[in-house]
Amino acid sequence: GRVRISTSGNAGVASNLLIGTGGLTLDISGDGLFWDQSTIGTQGNTLTNADTFTITGSGTKTLNGAGQFINAAGATLTHLDGTITFADGATLRNQGSFIIPTGATPTGYAGTGSVINEATGTVAWTGGTIAVASPAEFHNQGTLTISGTTHTLSGTGVFANDATGITNWTDASTISIATGATYTNNGTFNVNNDANRLITGGGAFINNGTFNHNSLSNSGDNVGWNGTGQFTNNGLFAFNDNNDYQVDGGTVFTNTTTGIIRVSTTDLEETQFFSFSATAGVGTVDNQGTVEVLGGRFRHITLIDPVFTFTAANTKNLPGDETAAGAAPKVTARPLDIAIENGAIKAADAE
């Protein structure tokens, strides 16, 4: 059976859950507790889930009162669908297991408040849409795993992997970042396991931390963007094997003046940025920062007419190796392949 936080339908009956000064702990096993509508008024206090709690349905759900809702260590919180509207700076904190699956409607967060996955917490985003409407914020400070089906991020609110956060993208699922939405990585973002996968959409991915491309298989090591969105690297983008990054659909990959693209492998197969001729709209790779080749080979190539732009001289920082200086602002890769092998830039006709 189910225990519900909901509206009675009788206008003469108060249907809100108010949390007193001593707080309230819910320890409901079995199907657990379901919140499908109505208000949880924290009144500056703490509601704690110690077992099973599900947020679902299109009804209005409000968390207010400047307090917090904590999903405790060992407990499970599932946000199946529907939007939580925060008020007064209320906070939803996860210290246990937080599951975001594909639901009938987007999983939404709105209003003045935050979702925080704390250091001990795990979030499993297995599919569906997370919609964060500004000024609401979603922060991962623990572990977030992305797997399953298509994952869509929408809204203009903050969605961030914080400095202590670890995000693991573990399979061939797609991440779609809608126009106006931004996925910000300030911690560690890992592309793990062998599978080709893409980001799509017209939004933005900003890497201020470390982005690890860890796939090892030559037949399953493509990651990249097919769409008009932009990947901006202000931190470290690490090719940890002979991985590939695909730039199609008009996307732009920018390595800024603070950014480092690092290649580190013993494999002789090239690490590369590339585009497919069968995909409409070539992408652009704009290097304004540093490219380090600590081992292996690096190149940028395409089957149509891409642009690889060198606007900075720091194409590597290995002592004793040749440095590219005064590079032309644009090099079209149809007539020219650019390869960097162990720190040295080499060019050859592609035709």
What string of DSSP letters covers 101-170?
A: ---SS-EEEEEEEEEEE-TT-EEEE-SEEEEE-TT-EEEESSEEEE-SS-EEEESSSEEEE-TT-EEEE-
Share of the chain above pLDDT 70, in %: 82
Per the prediction, the chain carries an average pLDDT of 85
The amino acid that residue 191 corresponds to is V
What is the reported pLDDT for 236?
A: 98
* pLDDT over 50 (residue 307): no
Q: What span, in angstroms and rounded, lies between the C-alpha atoms of 286 and 312?
A: 10
* pLDDT over 80 (residue 344): no
pLDDT band of 78, cuts 50, 70, 90: very high
Q: Do 16 and 40 meet the contact criterion of CB atoms below 8 Å apart?
A: yes
pTM of the model: 0.87
Q: What span, in angstroms and rounded, lies between the C-alpha atoms of 107 and 56?
A: 9
pLDDT band of 218, cuts 50, 70, 90: confident
Place of tokens 């996860």: 94
* pLDDT over 50 (residue 271): yes
Q: What span, in angstroms and rounded, lies between the C-alpha atoms of 159 and 102?
A: 18
| Tens of pLDDT, residues 5-47 | 887 666 555 578 999 999 999 999 999 999 999 999 999 999 9
What is the reported pLDDT for 135?
A: 98
User: Which one is predicted more confidently, 311 or 201?
Assistant: 201
* pLDDT over 60 (residue 313): no
Name the helix (H) or strand (E) containing 84. Answer: strand 82-94
User: Which one is predicted more confidently, 124 or 283?
Assistant: 124
What is the reported pLDDT for 92?
A: 98
User: Which one is predicted more confidently, 335 or 189?
Assistant: 189
Q: What span, in angstroms and rounded, lies between the C-alpha atoms of 237 and 257?
A: 13
What's the number of CA atoms in the CB half-sphere (13 Å) around residue 323?
11
